[in-house]
Structure 1
Amino acid sequence: MGMYFKIAFGNVKKSFKDYTIYFLTLTLAVCIFYSFNSIESQKALVEMSASGKEYASMLTQIISYVSVFVAVILGSLILYANNFLIKKRNKELGIYMTLGMGKQKISRILIMETVIVGMLSLVSGLILGLITSQGLSVVVSKLFEVKMSEYNFVISIAAIGKTVLYFGIMFMLVMIFNTYVISKYKIIDLLTVGKKTEEIRFKSPFVYLIAFVLSMVSLVTAYKFIIDVGLIASDPKFLMSIILGVIGTVLFFFSLAGFMLYIVKKSKGIYFKGLNIFTIKQINSKINTNFLSMSVISLMLFLTICVLSTGFSFKSALEAGLKGATPFDASANMFINPDYKLQSIEEAFKVAGINFHEDDKIAYYNEYRDDTVISDIITLNNDVKDMYFHVSFIKVSEYNRIRELDNEEPIELQDNEVLITSNFSKVLPYIEEYMSENHSVKIKDKVYKIKNDKVIKHNLRTYYMQNNMLSIIINDDFCNGIELSSSNININFGGNDKIQRESDFISNMNRVYGDPNRDYDKVGFALGNTRTEVYGEVKGMSTTVLFVVIYLGIVFLISSMAVLALQQLSEASDSINRYVALKKLGANKKSINKTIFYQTLIYFSLPVLLAFIHSIVGIKVTNEFITMYGSTDISASSFITALIFIVVYGIYFYTTYTGYKNIVKNKIA
């Protein structure tokens, strides 16, 4: 066993440059895996208040589930990387067999090498993860708005155990895979593998041209569909945009090799300059062979860019809109049907035994609706006019009760006057534009004067978002003639125990309306929430989603770069005879390094460039969706995304370029 260990250790030491990408990927994978799984032990979550612990627990549970998916991705990546290393060492393994070493002994050496590299990457990854997780702890405290009493360096034993377990299973699979591969090898195949070269066949340029045109048509159509419908998954165009986007991406990389070769061949000055003819043929060969994997990588990078760029802005938009969405300590509403026995929430609460303290401020109000939609009153753009937002009408006398909660003076309206209120971002700009040019509005064939010069932007009740589409405050008689839509209550709790009263209110609501056996015909059915509850839920959900997308985004980014790197290095080993021939033809070291640099740069850049173009459309559509919850600015998150992208891209590009050069240099020296 000692002899095998010495051979394995010597091989790892001698081939460390070959293991660089493998070791780098393993280290980063362990670091990311540990960092996110150690969140539950971070001081910020430990010191979180009782109301926030529920969301912290949900975050750690979801991260735990996502980690299983991440482990599958990383396990597949490790097997892919290991396969590259085994192929690269075919001749070496063949020499072992020629010298009389059995397959079982060779397998033992490979197992030892796997153990050595695995242990080194686990230790280095955990050390890096321990450092990274401390920074993550600060991020957690900021996102959950928890003030830590003091800073402590935290080591999560549970996360270390999980990391060792998951990666131990991955390395065990690698050992089994290596043993299986060695058992299938024949000496002649191992010794002659370098002489087997792939025959590159090129289809007619016309085929590539047609494929390229189809890819452009597919992508443009996909962009148009997704811009038209946005993130409405129920719309058929949404699914079609995804399908066409995937098809367009695959066709783009399939056609790119032949199409690019055809175009460059037409430019004789470029094609025959220096080693360009060799470089272009090499790139052509790589894309031709790997167009499917390049398509997948490009789509993964597209998702990475989108989620990392918009994740923080989505959370910020959600939380920025909370102040405007929660004007009262608590609210409840009951949708009304003419067949219902109870026609007001006040009556329902009395029957259900939900009472308030005498120092609580309460405002009951009703919303009335008929078949009037917003586009009947003002002109809307095509992207929102088909959504059929109904107009709500509220009696001015009841609206003044709402104003009284905020200690505002009552408003008097004449029979021909109305107030316009709205704060829903999708329609607010159109209402503002209308009011800037018009001072009256036509409702049911009658013209009303708009009393307010500017839109009154507020929520009429506490809710999770600013959802006042268009509510028109109008004289009481008008509302008496149309159908009652909902009965509502707003509450501002008095006294010094407001938090307790909020809690009691929700408990009472759950007691009455959370019982599935309750006879709702007798007590009605009401939904309610408090400001504290809304803040907690929105912050908890937004933070959880943000952490998951960051986790997956970074894993996708590392995986994509690692696959690109391994494909390049694998190609370097397969094409070594071409470089030997190039050297014999008189090409110097500088020229060969230059062509390696351009090949690596172009191969790394093509999936990134297409992903970037996809993400321009993706970010635009996502931002339009986010604006429903509040204003957004992606400049900061885009900068962070770009920084992460550049760092990871730069590390893998440089490591790949250096490794490629070393492989070629060792063979042609």
Structure 2
Amino acid sequence: MSIFRLSFSNFKRSLREYGMLILSLGFSVLIFFNFQNMVYSDSMKVLQEFKKDYIDMIIQAASVVFVVFLFFFIWYAVNVFLRQRKKEIGIYIFMGVDNAGIGKMFALEALFMGLSALISGLFFGVLFSKLFQMLLLRMSEISVEIRFSVSLKPMVITGLMFGSIYGIMILKGYYSLKRSSVLSLISSAKQKEITQRNPVVSVLLALLGGVVLAAGYFFAWDTKGLEALEHGLLAVILVIVGIYLLFDGLIPELLKRLIRNKKFLYKKERSLWMNSLAFRMKKNYRTYAIVTVLMICSVTVVAISIAMKQRYEKMVNFDQTYTYQVLSSQRQDGAEIKKGIEEENTVEYWNEYEVLILPPEVMHTKFTNYVYGAVSWSQIKAGAKRAGLEFSWEEPSENQVIMLEHEILISLMGDQTRDKTIEIGTETYEVLGGDKTPYLGNIQSMSEIFVVSDETYASLMPLGQVEFFYNYRIQDLGNADKSRPFLKELAEKGREQGVNIGVNFTQDTLSQDSWNRILYSLCLFMFATLILAAGSVLFLKTRNEAYEDKERYGILEKIGVQRTVLKQSVRKEICFTYYCPFVLTCLTSYFSVKALGNVMQEELFRVNLWSAGIIFLVFTCICFFSVREAWKRLFD
């Protein structure tokens, strides 16, 4: 039998064994292909009005992150595959197959597994491409009609990306086998990852892991202000190192101490699985650390998506306070403008403001391209009442101001307005606080406006120029385009008369921010992929370890241990394998999500609960099948 036929025969025989891994790789290919298909296919050209260039940029950025994840996942998958297949190397050596032949055989088997994942991923990616786009746009709340369209370019890009990464890993495994000695190949299946370690070193590593992880939690908690990025980076590094040391030192040390406690060990047949669990934990600590980091990343990704969605919704609500805003250098008749709008739409409410625009040199700032202004307290109070907005500020004194702020996507500044002062002209004013209520609507997002007392406003008049703002909100936002011709004509007539009149349409600003909604949807798909990858790694580990334990459990059954007791022992050991990383993920993700909430200025505790619930359900399902599969291999 040729090496090719033998490799293909082995692949078919082990197809069910590595089905979960192929499924995870295929799902990753499906997601990446659909990312690329959205960029290069004709079906998404309908998004031109939603700034498709920005959306493409976000998708490609997400693709880069996805490729990095896929690189490490493929690296681990191929290494696990080749390591497990080494158990049969001794047989082939005695059959006369040399190292090069063994390397070719296992490289071919890994190649067949990769081709299966790639072909199945592309097939189902093409099959469900329109459904993927519909789900993505539905979650992004973008209502456009899309059509089925698949081009060759995204398939080629996906194939080259996956093939290059997977090919590098196969070549690495091939040369590793080819250059290995016969003795090392024969004994590789019996080699363990465990090395005897001095007890003092074990205790020190356990303490170090706890300290490093606690330091990571501290920096994750303290992510406010200008040091947010620095602390966030430190938190990521320390948490990853801490988790690694936790599985390498602290958890094995705790298990070792529990085993030494005979009262604990000999109750409820714990001796049947606790020693094995301690051995597995020490042997596979790298795998458990990788899985935990993957799950923490998945929770962080979904937290990013929810935070982005919440921030975007607040920004939308902020911008939609007024449907139209008319800006004029001279006073206009706001009631007449309202009548013109009501020829096509019903105005729900409207108001007008007189805003003093201040030049940057008066504000003593180096940011000369920013718009600064002041508005009187009485005007804001009256305008807020007409628009139904809450306004609870008392009138500032002559040396106090209130800063009008706006909703932003991400802020690294924190609350910089409390107990601060600003200088306007020759006077210094105390900033009482910031207010994100959209009293001035979208204009408030593009300028820095201060609410001052009526007397202070009058005293500042010589320093700037007065502009007049007329704001209107209609009942049917879907009919907003009908009043555009009137407002554009109003602006043109004003310019003909030498009056600068500008009109701001809310719908124009909303379409420019649609990339936020796309990013939200992409993060959800990334979350699903990471969870499936983490579950598949544990499933593969527990499945392969069942082969190693078959002889041990067979002996225990022969000496009189009941099969039901042995099955309970297997179930407890496997459940610990899944739920130990899960518990650590819940603990760590609380701090990572808290840090993200600080940066995004959002409350994300519910994200922890929902993401933990989803991971728990997914891991419980995979754990159930792992237990059933282990029982089948151990006792059937």
Aligned residue in 1 for 2:334: none
Aligned-pair identity in percent equals: 17
Task: Please report how far the alpha carbon of residue 603 of structure 1 lies from its aligned counterpart in structure 2 after TM superposition.
Answer: 1.6
CA distance in 2, matches of 1:585, 1:479: 97
Q: Does 1:459 align with 2:439?
A: yes
Q: Does 1:312 align with 2:306?
A: yes
Alignment of 1:150-549 (within 5 A): 152-196=147-191, 201=196, 203-204=198-199, 212=206, 215-216=209-210, 219-220=213-214, 222-230=216-224, 233-234=227-228, 238=232, 241-265=235-259, 267-273=261-267, 275-325=269-319, 327-328=321-322, 365-366=355-356, 394-395=375-376, 457-463=437-443, 471-477=450-456, 479-480=458-459, 490=469, 496-497=483-484, 501=488, 531-540=506-515, 542-549=516-523
Task: Please report how far the alpha carbon of residue 166 of structure 1 lies from its aligned counterpart in structure 2 after TM superposition.
Answer: 2.3
CA distance in 1, matches of 2:140, 2:530: 25
**Given the alignment, which residue of 59, 62, 67 partners 2:63?**
67
Residues 301-344 of structure 1: CA deviation (Å, up to 9, x unaligned) = 123113214513531332234233454567799xxxxxxxxxxx
Aligned residue in 2 for 1:561: 535
CA distance in 2, matches of 1:578, 1:196: 17
CA distance in 2, matches of 1:456, 1:328: 15
CA distance in 2, matches of 1:564, 1:499: 64
SS at match of 1:179: helix
CA distance in 2, matches of 1:103, 1:64: 42
Q: Does 1:31 align with 2:25?
A: no
Residues 148-204 of structure 1: CA deviation (Å, up to 9, x unaligned) = 44x755545433333233223244334423431331244444334455556553543
Residues 72-95 of structure 1: CA deviation (Å, up to 9, x unaligned) = 432432332222232323242332
Aligned residue in 2 for 1:653: 623
Task: Please report how far the alpha carbon of residue 612 of structure 1 lies from its aligned counterpart in structure 2 after TM superposition.
Answer: 0.8
CA distance in 2, matches of 1:414, 1:164: 65
Q: Does 1:116 align with 2:112?
A: yes
SS at match of 1:394: strand
SS at match of 2:513: helix
Q: For residues 226 and 468 of structure 1, do their structure 2 counterparts lie closer, same or farther at Cα, with a shift above 3 Å needed?
A: farther
How many residues in Structure 1 have an aligned counterpart in Structure 2? Answer: 567
Task: Please report how far the alpha carbon of residue 114 of structure 1 lies from its aligned counterpart in structure 2 after TM superposition.
Answer: 3.5
Q: Does 1:95 align with 2:76?
A: no
CA distance in 2, matches of 1:596, 1:648: 20
Task: Please report how far the alpha carbon of residue 219 of structure 1 lies from its aligned counterpart in structure 2 after TM superposition.
Answer: 4.6
Q: Does 1:13 align with 2:8?
A: no
TM-score normalised by the chain length of structure 1: 0.68
Contact 2:377/2:451 (<8 A) preserved: no
Task: Please report how far the alpha carbon of residue 602 of structure 1 lies from its aligned counterpart in structure 2 after TM superposition.
Answer: 0.9
SS at match of 1:459: coil
Q: Does 1:595 align with 2:569?
A: yes
**Given the alignment, which residue of 568, 586, 596 partners 1:612?**
586
CA distance in 2, matches of 1:101, 1:608: 44
Q: For residues 456 and 91 of structure 1, do their structure 2 counterparts lie closer, same or farther at Cα, with a shift above 3 Å needed?
A: closer
TM-score normalised by the chain length of structure 2: 0.71
Q: For residues 224 and 215 of structure 1, do their structure 2 counterparts lie closer, same or farther at Cα, with a shift above 3 Å needed?
A: same
Contact 1:601/1:653 (<8 A) preserved: yes
Deviates more, 1:456-465 or 1:120-129: 456-465
CA distance in 1, matches of 2:93, 2:397: 99
Contact 2:405/2:448 (<8 A) preserved: yes
Q: For residues 581 and 30 of structure 1, do their structure 2 counterparts lie closer, same or farther at Cα, with a shift above 3 Å needed?
A: same
CA distance in 2, matches of 1:407, 1:187: 82
CA distance in 1, matches of 2:232, 2:396: 46
Residues 473-522 of structure 1: CA deviation (Å, up to 9, x unaligned) = 522455516996997664669994359959x99xx9xxxxxxxxxxxxxx
CA distance in 1, matches of 2:82, 2:254: 33
CA distance in 1, matches of 2:183, 2:403: 82
Contact 2:373/2:447 (<8 A) preserved: no
Contact 1:368/1:479 (<8 A) preserved: no
Contact 1:88/1:570 (<8 A) preserved: yes
Residues 267-288 of structure 1: CA deviation (Å, up to 9, x unaligned) = 4333024652342222222333
Contact 2:43/2:147 (<8 A) preserved: no
CA distance in 2, matches of 1:456, 1:199: 58
SS at match of 1:366: strand
Counterpart amino acid of residue 513 in structure 2: V
Contact 2:78/2:170 (<8 A) preserved: no
Task: Please report how far the alpha carbon of residue 566 of structure 1 lies from its aligned counterpart in structure 2 after TM superposition.
Answer: 4.0
Residues 394-423 of structure 1: CA deviation (Å, up to 9, x unaligned) = 236876997899799xxxx99989998967
Which structure 1 residue ranges, 5 or more long, are not aligned? 334-344, 348-355, 371-390, 431-442, 449-454, 509-526
Residues 415-456 of structure 1: CA deviation (Å, up to 9, x unaligned) = 989998967699xxx9xxxxxxxxxxxx9999x9xxxxxx99
Aligned residue in 2 for 1:22: 21
CA distance in 2, matches of 1:486, 1:594: 81
CA distance in 1, matches of 2:196, 2:156: 50
CA distance in 2, matches of 1:20, 1:118: 11
Deviates more, 1:155-164 or 1:608-617: 155-164
CA distance in 1, matches of 2:388, 2:541: 69
CA distance in 2, matches of 1:485, 1:662: 82
Task: Please report how far the alpha carbon of residue 600 of structure 1 lies from its aligned counterpart in structure 2 after TM superposition.
Answer: 1.9
Aligned residue in 2 for 1:51: 49
CA distance in 1, matches of 2:159, 2:455: 70
SS at match of 1:497: helix
Q: Does 1:550 align with 2:524?
A: yes
Contact 2:352/2:470 (<8 A) preserved: yes
Contact 2:62/2:522 (<8 A) preserved: yes
CA distance in 2, matches of 1:182, 1:288: 25
CA distance in 1, matches of 2:96, 2:376: 96
Contact 1:393/1:479 (<8 A) preserved: no
Q: For residues 580 and 174 of structure 1, do their structure 2 counterparts lie closer, same or farther at Cα, with a shift above 3 Å needed?
A: farther
SS at match of 1:47: helix
Counterpart amino acid of residue 160 in structure 2: L
Deviates more, 1:567-576 or 1:557-566: 567-576
Counterpart amino acid of residue 459 in structure 2: N
Which structure 2 residue ranges, 5 or more long, are not aligned? 331-336, 342-350, 361-371, 409-414, 416-426, 473-480, 496-501
Counterpart amino acid of residue 395 in structure 1: S
CA distance in 1, matches of 2:569, 2:292: 24
